[in-house]
Amino acid sequence: MKRVLITGAEGNIGSSMRSLLADRYELHALTRESVPGLESFVADIGGDLDALLPAFVGMDAVLHLAGSSGMQHPWEAVLHNNIIGTYNVFEAARQQGVKQIVYASSNHAVGLYELDRMPELYKRRAGLELDHTAPVRPDSLYGVSKVFGEGLARYYSDKFGLSIYCVRIGTARLDDSPNSDAARKGQAWLPLPEEANLRRMASTWQSKRDLADEIDACLQAEDVKFDIFYGVSDNPFRFWDLEHVRAVIGWHPRDGAPDPTESV
Amino acid sequence: MKRVLITGAEGNIGSSMRSLLADRYELHALTRESVPGLESFVADIGGDLDALLPAFVGMDAVLHLAGSSGMQHPWEAVLHNNIIGTYNVFEAARQQGVKQIVYASSNHAVGLYELDRMPELYKRRAGLELDHTAPVRPDSLYGVSKVFGEGLARYYSDKFGLSIYCVRIGTARLDDSPNSDAARKGQAWLPLPEEANLRRMASTWQSKRDLADEIDACLQAEDVKFDIFYGVSDNPFRFWDLEHVRAVIGWHPRDGAPDPTESV
């Protein structure tokens, strides 16, 4: 089994990926706090590069999930965790000869395409379909940090031969579907009416098992040197392309969000 | 006359822009060392944001040239000068209500397109023409920092309404044409034969007066909110697009590099 180092294994998405990928890979954790049941190397990825290096020894791949992941996060957090942290993770992987990185990029690298079209965008078949070639339009400093990370990924792949897959994850933090009571509570993305927020979640939702399958497909595609994929389930309101990821690594989602209008 | 704050006014390109733009704008400098003949605000743009704010008071525009500009610059310099420095300059401009920024981006944001094609690329009409929509392929950490800066520019423009023009400057550091004796000395870009380096300079050269005119055209185009332009003279070996910048802001170069094969 491939040895995979997960950063951010203690987070919401990291916890799910650990259990969903546990029978397919030998997992190790690089975290800020020890993770029960997993070999954990405890360090701050935004800190000293040299201190991180031992965690990467003998790894075949890195699943880089760690970072500040909120649109409202201030510059200092984004700089430390996402910009310096991502540089350190890529550089440590390079120095230790790790061959593959799955990088948790984000839809927020292109989030402002939505700005002009809300809330009509979130209605079925609104017509906007973004693919991996769309010029970036980050909606936050968080989104800007993902633009940086994708650029760094391209450089490390082109220059040093690493295979790096940037997955622009949609709304993967929900434990259940966007139509659940849990999802309805406190998941507002922007100051929009509840229905619009619900519709956005139904457009952008990715189930945890779909994300795990997509990561798995990346790790199996060793001949792919660099690409950008969207991470989203096959939702009826979806406005991101899924044909490219299917064509390149053969992944297609199993899940799709229920239509929120059926219960609103 | 518009009041324009120049960062990096003490540098090679900054010095030339100061003299070439002096009769068109009221120029001020934000520099690491005082610039004779110009109101200079001395500070480190990669330092404390609050300390920079006074330099931006009353400015109509910023010409942001400061930064580490070498392919070999280490991460620490790129992080401090280009990433943190550019964030600080954009954020200070926003806080002080400055409406326009001309951002010195770089061809190194897409430099690795050249990698597969050298040295044939530098021959006349090699056929590769990159435009502003080409996916980024940075050739260095320096190039990655420019990808970051362009993403940040897009965000500040979309979100806060600033007009920001990213100019991917080519080889503008030469005092004379690429065919001069001065240019031939010590200007190697990559470990290539002298003729290939000379050809690259002849492909990518931008005369100082062409760059000054392009910056001027940006500052006159107040209705343009965001764009990416190449900064290059009309060289016979050129492989970057100039139609887009002509269509959007009406600039077209006056100069072109002499054909180096005529004297090699």
Q: Do B148 and A147 touch (CB under 8 A)?
A: yes
| Contact state of A155 with B133 under an 8 Å Cβ cutoff | no
More confident residue, A63 or B39: A63
Cβ of B151 and A147 within 8 Å?
Answer: yes
Residue B135: list chain A partners with CB under 8 A.
Answer: 133, 154
| E-strand stretches of B99-245 | 100-106, 163-169, 226-231
Contact list, A136 vs chain B (CB under 8 Å): 151, 154
Q: Quick: pLDDT tens for B213-234.
A: 999 999 999 999 999 999 999 9
Shortest Cα distance, chain B CAs vs residue A154, angstroms? 6
Does B158 sit within 8 Å of A112, measured CB to CB?
Answer: yes
**How many domains, chain A?**
1
Look at residue B44 and give its three-state secondary structure: coil
Q: Sheet harboring B26-31: ordered strands across?
A: B39-42, B26-31, B3-7, B61-64, B100-106, B163-169, B226-231
Under DSSP, the state recorded for B130 is: B
B156 noted as active-site residue:
no
Would the CB atoms of A79 and B84 count as touching at under 8 Å?
yes
- In the predicted model, is pLDDT for residue B18 greater than 80? yes
**B135, closest residue in chain A (CA to CA):** A133
Cβ atoms of B165 and B102 within 8 Å: the answer is yes
Sheet holding A100-106, edge to edge: A39-42, A26-31, A3-7, A61-64, A100-106, A163-169, A226-231
User: Which of A6-20, A170-184, B20-34, B243-257 is predicted with the least confidence, judged by mean pLDDT?
Assistant: A170-184
Residue closest to B203 by CA, chosen among B136, B105, B262, B125: B125
Can you give the length of chain B in residues?
264
Q: Given this model, what pLDDT does residue B117 score?
A: 77
Nearest to B117 by CA among B139, B98, B85: B139
Q: Where do runs of H (alpha helix) occur along chain A? A: 12-21, 49-52, 75-77, 85-95, 141-160, 181-184, 194-204, 208-220, 243-249
pLDDT in tens, chain A (264 residues): 999 999 999 998 999 999 999 999 999 999 999 988 899 999 999 999 999 999 999 999 999 999 999 889 999 999 999 999 999 999 999 999 999 999 999 999 999 998 777 767 777 666 678 999 999 999 999 999 999 999 999 999 999 999 999 999 999 877 666 666 655 554 545 556 677 777 888 889 999 999 999 999 999 999 999 999 999 999 988 999 999 999 999 999 999 887 766 654
Confidence band (pLDDT; 50, 70, 90) for B125? low
Q: What per-residue confidence (pLDDT) applies to B120?
A: 74
Best to test chain B binding among A108, A137, A168, A229 (most B CBs inside 10 Å):
A137
Q: How far is A80 from chain B (nearest CA, A)?
A: 11
Query: What's chain B's Rg over C-alpha atoms?
Result: 18
CA–CA distance, A118 with B114 (Å, rounded to integer): 40
Q: Closest to A151 (Cβ–Cβ): which among B79, B138, B159?
A: B138
pLDDT of residue B264: 42
Q: Taking a C-beta distance cutoff of 8 angstroms, is the pair A27, A18 a contact? A: yes
* B102 secondary structure, DSSP code: E
| Residue A230: partners with Cβ closer than 8 Å, 6 or more residues away | A107, A130, A132, A167, A168, A170, A240, A241, A242, A244, A245
Both tokens of A77, joined, read 């957090």
Q: Is A138 in contact with B151 (Cβ distance < 8 A)?
A: yes
CATH number assigned to the domain comprising residue A258 = 3.40.50.720
Q: Strand A163-169 relative to strand A100-106: parallel, antiparallel, unpaired?
A: parallel
Q: Is the peptide bond before B135 cis (omega within 30 degrees of 0)?
A: no
List the domain range (segments joined by +) for residue B156.
3-262
Residues of A within 8 A of B46 (CB-CB) are none
Question: Do the chains contact at B79 and A87, CB–CB below 8 Å?
Answer: yes
A168 in Cβ contact with A218 (< 8 Å):
no
Span B235-251, mean pLDDT?
94
Give, in order, the Cα–Cα distances in Å from A223 to each of A150, A167, A219, B22, B81.
19, 17, 10, 54, 36
Q: Testing the interface with B: which of A86, A152, A157 to mutate, by most B Cβ within 10 A?
A: A152
* Closest residue to A138, CB basis, from B133, B141, B155: B155
* pLDDT attached to residue A264: 42
Burial class for A193, CB neighbours closer than 10 Å (0-12, 13-18, 19+): exposed
The CA distance from A225 to A211, in Å, is 20
Tell me phi and psi for residue A5, to 5 degrees: -95, 120
How confident is the prediction for chain B on average, in pLDDT? 90
Task: Using DSSP, state whether B155 is helix, strand or coil.
Answer: helix
Mutate to test the interface with B, among A50, A113, A155 (most CBs of B within 10 A): A155
> Distance between CA B209 and CA B213 in Å, rounded?
6
pTM of the model: 0.94
**Does the distance separating the beta carbons of B148 and A148 come in below 8 Å?**
yes
Are B159 and A83 an interchain contact pair (Cβ–Cβ within 8 Å)?
Answer: no
pLDDT digits (tens, 9 = 90+) for B158-212: 999 999 999 999 998 776 666 666 555 545 555 566 777 778 888 899 999 999 9
Contact at CB, A83 and B148, closer than 8 angstroms: yes
The three-class DSSP label of residue A229 is strand
Whether residue A233 contacts residue A206, with contact meaning beta carbons closer than 8 Å, is answered with: yes
Give the closest-approach CA distance of B136 to chain A in angstroms. Answer: 7
Residue type, A32: R
Among the partner residues B79, B144, B151, nearest to A144 by beta-carbon distance = B151
**What are phi and psi for residue B106, nearest 5 degrees?**
-150, 150
Spell out which chain B residues touch chain A, with contact meaning CB-CB distance below 8 angstroms: 75, 79, 83-84, 87, 91, 109, 112, 115, 133, 135-141, 143-144, 147-148, 151-152, 154-155, 158-159
Smallest Cα distance from A176 to chain B, Å: 32
Nearest to A167 by CA among A86, A102, A118, A219: A102
State the Cα–Cα distance between residues A111 and A254, nearest whole angstrom: 24
Q: Is the complex ipTM more than 0.90?
A: yes
Scored b (16 or more CB within 10 A) or e, B219-255 reads bebeebebbbbbbbbebebbbbbbebbeebbebebeb
What's residue B262's pLDDT? Answer: 63
CB–CB of A107/A168 below 8 Å? yes
Mutation site for B-interface testing, chosen from A73, A106, A147, A244 by largest number of B Cβ within 10 Å: A147
